[in-house]
Amino acid sequence: MDLEDYILNHIDAEPENLYRLDRDTHLQLLYSRMCSGHLQGRLLKMLVRMINPKMVLELGTYSAYSALCLAEGLTDDSCHVHTIEIEDELEDFIREHLAQSLFGHRVTLHIGDAADIVPTLGETFDLIYIDANKRDYVAYYHLVMPYLRQGGFIIADNTLWDGKVADGIEHHDAQTQGILAFNDLVASDPRVEKVILPLRDGLTLIHKLT
């Protein structure tokens, strides 16, 4: 048994609906590696339990696995997740799986560009999860900060980017450059506390102080 199997055998089981969603993601969608999966999904739910947000924003729905984990962790139905996905061909898949979940009614799906949608929501968020186009992470950070309450949290996924951020090789692709710029920006921002967890592809927790 390898270490990942050991971990998965000693944490909460993956809910049946999320197991089916993960399976459908791998069978039906491209880039299935982007699905959060069992371990990260249980962590997202736990972080929501700890932060106890009323209003959550997600940038990058993909197959809705992470959105449903965020919704599962909410205290009750008075709390809500707004999730934004730019790829409209994913809409039918996402809505089907939201409908199959006990927590899908806590999620509102928006199809389109986050830069256009976020300012129209009229909400201040307690927790924001960023897992969209890596080349735009800096823009997302600047976009969402005015809508994150003081004391709120950002969780940013893929911030180690297959180790490319620290492998000593000069990478010129836009995705790696985007993650590098985002990490440098967050590290130098005095408004926030931050820590990077080496979980899967890197998860940065950011606490807005001012």
Instruction: For 6-52, write each residue's pLDDT tens digit.
Output: 999 999 999 999 999 999 999 999 999 899 999 999 999 999 999 99
Which element (helix H / strand E) includes 188?
Answer: helix 174-188
Instruction: For 10-22, write each residue's pLDDT tens digit.
Output: 999 999 999 999 9
How many Cα atoms occupy the beta-carbon half-sphere of 189 within 13 Å? 20
Locate all alpha helices (DSSP H) within 54-173, ordered by sequence.
65-73, 91-100, 114-117, 137-144
Instruction: For 131-186, write each residue's pLDDT tens digit.
Output: 999 999 999 999 999 999 999 999 999 999 999 999 989 899 999 999 999 999 99
Confidence check: pLDDT of 94 > 80:
yes
Q: Please tell me the predicted confidence (pLDDT) of residue 8.
A: 96
Q: Please tell me the predicted confidence (pLDDT) of residue 75.
A: 98
By the 8 A CB rule, do 204 and 196 touch? yes
What CA–CA distance (Å, rounded) separates 109 from 157? 19
Q: Please tell me the predicted confidence (pLDDT) of residue 39.
A: 96
Instruction: For 70-88, write each residue's pLDDT tens digit.
Output: 999 999 999 999 999 999 9
The neighbouring-strand residues paired with 157 are: 203
Q: Please tell me the predicted confidence (pLDDT) of residue 1.
A: 73
By the 8 A CB rule, do 147 and 120 touch? no
What CA–CA distance (Å, rounded) separates 53 from 206? 15
Domains of the chain: 3-208 (3.40.50.150)
Confidence check: pLDDT of 191 > 80:
yes
By the 8 A CB rule, do 140 and 57 touch? no
Say which amino acid occupies 150: Q
What percentage of the chain has pLDDT greater than the value 70? Answer: 100
